[in-house]
């Protein structure tokens, strides 16, 4: 019961940081990237713009810590699916055995961020990346989103405190 409450709190927090309803077919959605996914065990690097964070190989501005988890990989994977299910205006686009990709739309103009999670077989961590498709700055939205997902996974007892 506490877990549902915490996930609901996460959803409300994410909703609160978005001021207005989005438009369904936004001219600000951008094109769906073709270079996402896992390549040689790594997610794509961030571009030079500050509107991206990645847990693998990022520089200081783009770096975010991966999420270490307790339990098995499938349990962690399902927990991320559960959490993404309550993140407002977020839809899972791709699911494979060890990878998830979602799109998250801003409320105001429907800007799209691509959010990725990779579950390597070799270590109990969730590698992640979140990047805006358009624009220069995201005012920290991508980093905050991933940190809120981290907190939700900690509340569910999946993620370990790093």
With tokens 């549902």, the residue in question is 4
Q: Model pTM?
A: 0.81
| Predicted confidence band of residue 20 (pLDDT cuts 50, 70, 90) | very low
Q: Across residues 42-67, what is the average pLDDT?
A: 92
DSSP class of residue 123 equals: S
Contact at 8 Å (CB) between 124 and 114? no
| Predicted pLDDT of residue 155 | 96
| Predicted pLDDT of residue 135 | 76
Percent of the chain with pLDDT over 90: 63
| Predicted pLDDT of residue 13 | 54
Q: Across residues 45-56, what is the average pLDDT?
A: 93
| 25-34, 77-86, 136-145: least confident range | 25-34
* Rg, C-alpha atoms of the chain: 15
- Which residues on neighbouring strands pair with residue 115, listed in sequence order? 102, 130
Q: Which helix (H) or strand (E) holds 145?
A: helix 141-155
| Predicted pLDDT of residue 136 | 78
Other Cβ atoms within 10 Å of 91 Cβ, number: 11
Residue 88 has, within 13 A of its CA and on its CB side, a CA count of: 19
- pLDDT tens-digit map of 125-157: 999 999 999 877 878 899 999 999 999 999 999
Other Cβ atoms within 10 Å of 48 Cβ, number: 10
The fourth-level CATH superfamily of domain 2-20+32-155 is Kinase associated domain 1, KA1 (3.30.310.80)
| Predicted confidence band of residue 22 (pLDDT cuts 50, 70, 90) | very low
Give the span between the Cα atoms of 36 and 115, in whole angstroms: 10
């Amino acid at each position: 019961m506490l877990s549902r409450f915490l996930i609901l709190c996460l959803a409300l927090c994410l909703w609160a940081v978005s001021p207005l309803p989005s438009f369904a077919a936004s001219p600000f959605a951008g094109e769906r990237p073709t270079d996402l996914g896992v390549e040689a065990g790594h997610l794509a690097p961030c571009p030079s713009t500050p509107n991206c964070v990645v847990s693998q190989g990022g520089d200081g501005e783009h770096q975010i810590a991966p999420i270490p988890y307790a339990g098995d990989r499938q349990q962690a994977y399902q927990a991320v699916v559960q959490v993404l299910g309550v993140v407002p205006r977020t839809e899972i686009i791709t699911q494979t055995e060890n990878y998830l990709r979602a799109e998250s739309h801003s409320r105001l103009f429907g800007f799209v961020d691509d959010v990725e999670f990779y579950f390597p077989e070799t270590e109990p961590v969730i590698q992640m990346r979140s990047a805006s498709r358009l624009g220069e700055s995201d005012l920290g939205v991508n980093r905050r989103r991933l940190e809120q997902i981290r907190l939700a996974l900690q509340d569910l007892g999946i993620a370990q405190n790093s």
